[in-house]
């Protein structure tokens, strides 16, 4: 199985259509205005160090028995890794190495760039804005977090045009059970993690705030863990 993972860096105050950049720069090797020139030689050295235990035929071709193989393609603005039968844990290393050069992962298989996450906190969940932002800073420190406090209808409307990692949290109070649900979408992939408690435990306001905050934390941890297990981002 072949998977390609791609990296580039935008100039300050510029953000383009990632899919078009991928096609023009990473597939067609064209120059794209708005992308930074990368220190390719330094990047190749970092890759060589990260995969020092692999067989390197040259700076662009690596192989290891039982672990697969990969080829590196570069332009002055981009680095592309074509991976063959590699394990996920090894492919995640590309994301870590390239982050040192300010280059987030773009995965065309999932059609998403792992550079930012828009977090929608819906209705009552909006009371936990500071907590959610702190959690993301710990769980996914390299992603820029953009938080929006919205209603359910606003979340559905605003999220449609976004082609980035998306998250939403909602608190649903029913007669007997209250659920705090975290939903995360990353291109073609998604995960959904609810945590719940008995509604009777929420009768006291201060205690309710504490319990719901704990449930939100658990649901965020679980949904992010799913996200990391299902992507090549590290």
Q: Does domain 2-109 have CATH number 3.40.50.300?
A: no
The confidence band for 194, taking pLDDT boundaries of 50, 70 and 90, is: very high
CATH 3.30.160 residue ranges of the chain are 116-229
Task: Measure the CA–CA gap between 217 and 9, rounded to whole angstroms.
Answer: 32
Span 1-32, pLDDT tens digits: 789 999 999 999 999 999 999 999 999 999 99
**181: nearest Cα among 205, 157, 212:** 212
Is the pLDDT reported for residue 139 higher than 90? yes
Tokens of 9: 């860096």
Q: What is the mean pLDDT of residues 78-87?
A: 97
For residues 121 and 127, give the distance between their C-alpha atoms in angstroms, rounded to a whole number: 8
Give dist(CA 108, CA 26) in Å, integer: 11
The CATH number of the domain covering residues in 116-229? 3.30.160
User: pLDDT band for position 224 (50/70/90)?
Assistant: very high
Q: State residue 161's pLDDT score.
A: 81
Q: 106 in the Ramachandran plot: left (φ > 0), alpha (ψ -120 to 50) or beta?
A: beta
Query: Side-chain half-sphere of 165: how many Cα atoms within 13 Å?
Result: 26
pLDDT at 163: 86
Quick check: 112 pLDDT over 80? Answer: yes
**What is the rounded distance in angstroms from the CA atom of residue 76 to the CA atom of residue 58?**
19
> Could you give the residue range(s) of every CATH 3.30.310.250 domain in the chain?
2-109
**Residue 81 phi, psi (nearest 5):** -115, 120
Q: Is 93 a residue whose pLDDT tops 90?
A: yes
pLDDT for 123 beyond 90: yes
């Amino acid at each position: 199985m072949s998977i390609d993972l791609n990296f580039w860096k935008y100039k300050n105050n510029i953000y383009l259509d990632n899919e078009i950049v991928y096609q023009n720069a990473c597939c067609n090797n064209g120059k794209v205005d708005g992308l930074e020139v990368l220190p390719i030689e330094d990047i190749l050295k970092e890759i060589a160090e990260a995969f020092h235990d692999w067989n390197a035929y040259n700076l662009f071709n690596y192989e290891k028995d039982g672990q697969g193989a990969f080829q590196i393609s570069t332009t002055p603005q981009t680095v592309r890794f074509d991976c063959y039968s590699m394990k996920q844990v090894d492919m995640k290393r590309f994301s870590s190495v390239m982050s040192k050069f300010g280059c987030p992962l773009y995965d065309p298989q999932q059609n998403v760039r792992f550079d930012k996450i828009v977090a929608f906190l819906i209705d009552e969940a909006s009371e936990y804005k500071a907590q959610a932002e702190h959690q993301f800073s710990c769980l996914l420190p390299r992603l820029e977090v953009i938080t929006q406090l919205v209603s359910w209808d606003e979340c559905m409307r605003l999220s449609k045009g976004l082609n980035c990692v998306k998250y939403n949290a909602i608190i649903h109070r029913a007669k007997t059970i209250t659920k705090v649900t975290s939903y995360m979408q990353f291109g073609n992939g998604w995960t959904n993690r609810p945590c719940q408690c008995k509604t009777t435990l929420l009768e006291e306001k201060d205690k309710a705030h504490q319990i719901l905050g704990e449930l939100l934390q658990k649901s965020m941890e679980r949904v992010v863990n799913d996200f990391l297990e299902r992507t090549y981002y590290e």
